[in-house]
Structure 1
Amino acid sequence: MLAAAQRLRRSTDFAAAVRGGRRAGRGAVVVHLTVPAADPSTPTSPEPAQDSSAEQSSAPSRAGFVVSKAVGNAVTRNRVRRRLRALVRERMTALPAGSTLVVRALPAAAQASYPRLATDLDAAIAVARSPRERRSR
């Protein structure tokens, strides 16, 4: 179970992450990741850096899950949600402080094994965290 401070609960938080975050879909999941922008006004001296680490610990990464009825019946949806929650809990420390992650399960998640969900989640988070590349036409 994720700690209360790490869970998204309000629909406005979900909407902000989905609208403002980077989206990446892999296999059975789609993730929306919002990473807070670095504050350019913060000094780079070593002493304030310690203060900023205290601020970052007060703003934990948060996660929310969307598992629609298209995934399956209530038993299936809850199983998928529990699996995703366990996978995300293991990966929360790797996310930048203050980031927001929304994981949306696709219908394929109902038949996906736990290792397959882990692989898809890792790949989607990696793509969402990578910097955007400019495409030339």
Structure 2
Amino acid sequence: MLSRTHRLTDPDSFRVAVRQGRRAGTSRLVVHLWHADEVAPARVGFVVSKAVGPAVVRNRVKRRLRHLARESLRDLPGSAVLVVRANPAAADATYEELGADLGRCVQRVMS
């Protein structure tokens, strides 16, 4: 589980990260990274729409992504806002496949 300080819950931050941040994607995930002007810890938010599947599948994808994102927090710069959006192909992905995609996307938006 992500600690409260690392959770992105503000709708405006989601909007700014998606519109102004750098983007990288795969068939399963799209990642948006934006550097906030404020001094704050890195925060991560998730978007898993109903297109991914029923509630059980969406929740499983979110749980996996939260766990993987927690491991990726140390790689993010301070005050970074990371939004991870799951595509419908994420429903059938294994934990390892999601991890590889997330790592690849984070590396691309950071470079």
Tell me whether the two structures share a fold, i.e. TM-score over 0.5.
Answer: yes
| TM-score, normalised by the number of residues in structure 2 | 0.95
Quote the residue 1:27 is aligned against.
Answer: 27
Quote the residue 2:6 is aligned against.
Answer: 6
- Deviations 1:99-124 (CA, angstroms, capped at 9, x unpaired): 00000000000000000000100111
Q: 2 CA distance for matches of 1:24 and 1:117?
A: 14
Quote the residue 1:17 is aligned against.
Answer: 17
| TM-score, normalised by the number of residues in structure 1 | 0.77
How many pairs does the alignment contain? Answer: 111
- Deviations 1:28-53 (CA, angstroms, capped at 9, x unpaired): 1000001247xxxxxxxxxxxxxxxx
How far 1:10 moved relative to its partner?
1.6
Structure with higher Rg: it is 1
Q: 2 CA distance for matches of 1:26 and 1:97?
A: 25
Q: 2 CA distance for matches of 1:118 and 1:14?
A: 22
Percent identical: 54
For structure 2, which runs of at least 5 residues remain unmatched after alignment? none
Quote the residue 1:111 is aligned against.
Answer: 92
Quote the residue 1:133 is aligned against.
Answer: none
1:22 alignment partner AA: R
1:97 alignment partner AA: G
For structure 1, which runs of at least 5 residues remain unmatched after alignment? 38-54, 131-137
| Structure 1 or 2: more strand by fraction | 2
Off by >3 Å, runs of 4+ in structure 1: none
